[in-house]
Structure 1
């Protein structure tokens, strides 16, 4: 092998390693972002349910206070 072939081989090896590392980081980031999105959607649903429950309780309190008057 001449010197130019060795340089090209080293460049190709470095690029393949960089591609593998970037692919791993991409897959890891997608998994993490999906977990974060699922968590966000779950917490959002819990918050919506809590607000609905608060509205129901406020309506019951208003009904009871109107009945007392």
Structure 2
């Protein structure tokens, strides 16, 4: 599944990845902090989004974080 980390204040996409371990990524993101090259962030909330691409229904997990 496609997973995207987004800065909830600026709307900037911090990281996009494809993983089969969605539960593990979400659990790790909800920990004390998440570190990206642009700084440390804290989990705020997430959305499971569905969209259509080339006639196929796809889904992605969007994890919103705020800068610490």
User: What TM-score results when the alignment is normalised by the length of structure 1?
Assistant: 0.19
Rg comparison, structure with higher value: 1
Q: Which has the higher contact order (CA 8 A, sep 6+)?
A: 2
Higher percent of residues as helix: 1
User: What TM-score results when the alignment is normalised by the length of structure 2?
Assistant: 0.19
